[in-house]
Amino acid sequence: MRPGWPVAVILSLALGASCAHTKSTDSGETKEPDKQASGKKKAPEPGAGTNPNLHPGHPEEIPVATRPEALLAPGADNDIRDKLAERGFLKEGAGSSQSSTREGIRRFQRAEDLPATGIADQETVKRLGLDPEKVFRKATVKD
Amino acid sequence: MRSRFHPPRWLRRLAIAGAIVVALLVVIRIVLDPVATHFTRKTLSETPGIRGDLRDVHVTVFPPGYQITRVKIVEHPGGDWKHPLFYAERVKVTVDWRELLHARLAARARIDEPKIVINNRGKQKKEEAKEKAPDLRRTLEHLLPGRLTRVEVRDGELLYRDLGAPRHPEIWVHDLELAVENIATRVALAHGRPVTLNASAKLGRSGDLTMFVSADPFAKKQDFAGEVSLRGWKVAELFDLIEPKTKLQTPEGTLDLFAEFKATGGLITGGVKPVLKNVEVRPTEDNFGNRLKAWIADEGLDLFSDRVPGRNAVVTVIPIKGRLDSPDIQLWTTVLGVVRNAFVEGISSGFTHLPPRTAEKQQGKVEQVKKALDKDQGPPKAQPTDGEKGGKT
């Protein structure tokens, strides 16, 4: 055995970790905007660059809303409710009201040692086993 | 004959090198915490306007991060260690190792049981205090290296004390749970999402407070939106708080308050809806709303200027409308100013028509309904009882 084997082992481990991260990125779990930006150039969105309130290079519309539910992608609220119900954080027959969902989220957050705000943020969504990339609306990032 | 195993020279060298590395790691591990404690204390003591103290600092390797225990910050000079401006049982910063692989230093912070005290020293000393006020944000930036992507607050407390008023009234927010997410310093790092703030807390002894704010920190002009709600706040707490200034008698009942706001392109719009339940207010000569505003509102933000002066209309939703055109306006200061003013306006408007005026003479049912539906007639008037002279307020 050659004396350089420990170095080879360390390098293999580092490469392995790097590949594992790339894999998770490809699966959409932790997509990096920089990668998107450096990838294939997309055609500008309609109206891009027309909003005088945005800096050059700014995504056309970062969604901003008065209510947290308005930042969710279509159908994502049902996914959150399903996950909460699966784990027993939604009371049976609680209905689908906003207040019952928020109460369920609050209970889940307490159980997960997260700030119990009753609002599904990215960390809460991740812990529920959902992909924040699919759950939250976002602007298209352009370079 | 005994056979002796002679490991090859390279293996012996490797073993020795390994032992040295392990010994070094042990030594580093042992001295790391005291060294980190020393430098954190140094940072705190060198920040202008404050002095700080802490129990210890613990550095972790997996995941990379550090934790400060029982950190305390006081004003300097003149600070009182028994009543610090900021205290936290634990501040834990964890570096995101995935971001490290991309040569970026990104971290998340969790602050357990923080207590922040804001002292209002009265109008004369306001400017002076402003100049002398320690910059807590800058101090935290010194303590927290790199970019913070998420901040969590658990079981926090915020105390606002008016030292300029008799009996030093206080507003106490506690059981604060807060998460700020997607804090980015560059557009590309924002992932196309807004920065969001979610919070829930208890106001005083009875009010349930929730708050949500989303903002685009990269917009040229302020671009944010949010909602705040307060439920079940016993109004007696409010009057305990400001009684020396308003001379109002302690009423009964509860207040719910809901506010929504949206700022885009420098224009802010929204509404505040106060809902008073079973409130009993006794007459007063004082203008309660004006006194409340003078005490606590952010006078720099004029958000309710579109209201018609002199019109005695009943409003269920008070509109918020104003402009945020100042070039040096800061996002979170503005958001807090909006929330503060929405509360003050909501509370004071909710009480504007209480107790209801009594009609000059007995009105018929039809007349009562007609007047109640007229938006310029004000709230329905109480009907005088037999032998009572009307027109009282």
ipTM: 0.71
Task: Give the CA dihedral A20, A25, A26, A31, nearest 10 degrees.
Answer: 180
How near does any CA of chain A get to the CA of B252, in Å?
27
Q: What pLDDT, on a 0 to 100 scale, did the predictor assign at position B151?
A: 92
What residue of B is the nearest CA neighbor of A7? B14
pLDDT of amino acid B112: 95
Residue B319 φ/ψ, nearest 5 degrees: -75, 145
% of chain B beyond a pLDDT of 90: 19
Per-residue DSSP letter, A70 = G
Helices A76-86 and A98-111: angle between axes, nearest 10 degrees: 50
pLDDT at position B201: 95
CB within 8 Å of chain B, chain A residues 77-96 = none
Cα distance between residue B201 and residue B208, in whole Å: 6
Prior bond of B63 cis (ω within 30°): yes
The confidence band for A50, taking pLDDT boundaries of 50, 70 and 90, is low
Kindly list the residues from chain A whose CB atom is less than 8 angstroms away from the CB atom of residue B199.
Answer: 115, 117
* Residues of chain A positioned with their CB less than 8 A from the CB of B218: 54-55, 58, 62
Pairing of β B147-162 and β B106-120? parallel
Residue type, A66: T
- B150 chain-A contacts, CB cut-off 8 A: 123
Query: Could you tell me which residue, A39 or B327, shows the higher pLDDT?
Result: B327
Mutation target vs B (from A121, A135, A136; most B CBs, 10 A cutoff):
A121
- Facing residue for A117 by CB, picked from B101, B177, B219: B177
pLDDT at A137 over 60: yes
Residue of B198, B209, B262, B324 to mutate, interface with A, max A Cβ within 10 Å: B198
Contact between chains at A114 and B210 (C-beta distance less than 8 A): no
Distance from CA of B227 to the nearest CA of A (A): 6
A49 touches chain B (CB under 8 A): no
- Tell me the chain B residues in contact with residue A106 when contact means C-beta distances shorter than 8 Å: 200
Could you tell me the CA-to-CA distances from B106 to A31, B95, B195, B375 in Å, in that order?
16, 6, 15, 55
**Cα–Cα dist A66/B70, whole Å:** 36
| Long-range contacts, stretch A70-73, CB < 8 angstroms, 24+ apart | A71/A136, A71/A137, A71/B194, A71/B196, A71/B214, A72/A120, A72/A135, A72/A136, A72/A137, A73/A134, A73/A135, A73/A136, A73/A137
The residues near A32 (Cβ < 8 Å, ≥ 6 apart) are: A25, B102
Which residue's entry shows tokens 């329905």?
B380
Query: How many other CB atoms are found less than 10 A from the CB of residue B337?
Result: 19
Question: 3-state secondary structure string, chain B?
Answer: CCCCCCCCHHHHHHHHHHHHHHHHHHHHHHHHHHHHHHHHHHHHHHCCCEEEECCEEEEECCCCEEEEEEEEEEECCCCCCCCCCEEEEEEEEEECHHHHCCCCCEEEEEEEEEEEEEEECCCCCHHHHHHHCCCHHHHHHHHCCCEEEEEEEEEEEEEEEECCCCCCCEEEEEEEEEEEECCCCCHHHHCCCCEEEEEEEEECCCEEEEEEEEECCCECCCCEEEEEEEEEEEHHHHHHHHHHHHCCCCCEEEEEEEEEEEEECCEEEEEEEEEEEEEECCCCCCCHHHHHHHHHCCCCCCCECCCCCCCCCCCCCEEEEEECCCCCCCHHHHHHHHHHHHHHHHHHHHHHCCCCCECCCCCCHHHHHHHHHCHHHCCCCECCCCCCCCCCC
Contact A53 B218 (CB under 8 A): no
Nearest chain B residue to A25 by CA: give it.
B98
Chain A residue at shortest CA distance from B13: A3
Q: Which two tokens stand for residue B33?
A: 């915490």
Nearest CA in chain B to A141: B192
A8: pLDDT strictly greater than 50: no
Residues 6 or more apart in contact with residue A30 via CB below 8 angstroms: A21, A24, B98
Q: Which residue has better confidence, B128 or A118? A: A118
**CB within 8 Å: A54 and B154:** no
Nearest to B155 by CA among B89, B65, B105: B89
Q: Do B265 and A17 touch (CB under 8 A)?
A: no
| pLDDT tens, position by position, B292-303 | 666 556 555 555
Q: Is A16 on the interface with B (CB under 8 A)?
A: no
- Grouped pLDDT means (10 residues each) for chain B, 393 residues: 74 93 91 88 82 88 87 83 88 84 81 88 54 55 66 92 73 93 72 88 92 86 88 79 58 83 86 79 57 60 50 58 70 78 73 56 68 55 53 37
Q: Token pair 């320690």 is at which residue?
A: B134
Selected residue of B9, B101, B182, B214 to mutate for chain A interface (largest A Cβ count, 10 A): B214
Name which of B257, B254, B237 is nearest B173 in CA terms.
Answer: B237
Mean pLDDT of A91-113: 86
**Radius of gyration (Cα) for chain B, nearest Å?**
29
| B100 CB-near residues (< 8 Å, 6+ apart) | B64
| Among candidates B101, B150, B214 on the partner chain, residue whose Cβ is nearest the Cβ of A64 | B214
Distances (CA, A) of A121 to A109, A117, A118, B161: 10, 9, 9, 32
Q: Would you state the pLDDT for residue B359?
A: 62
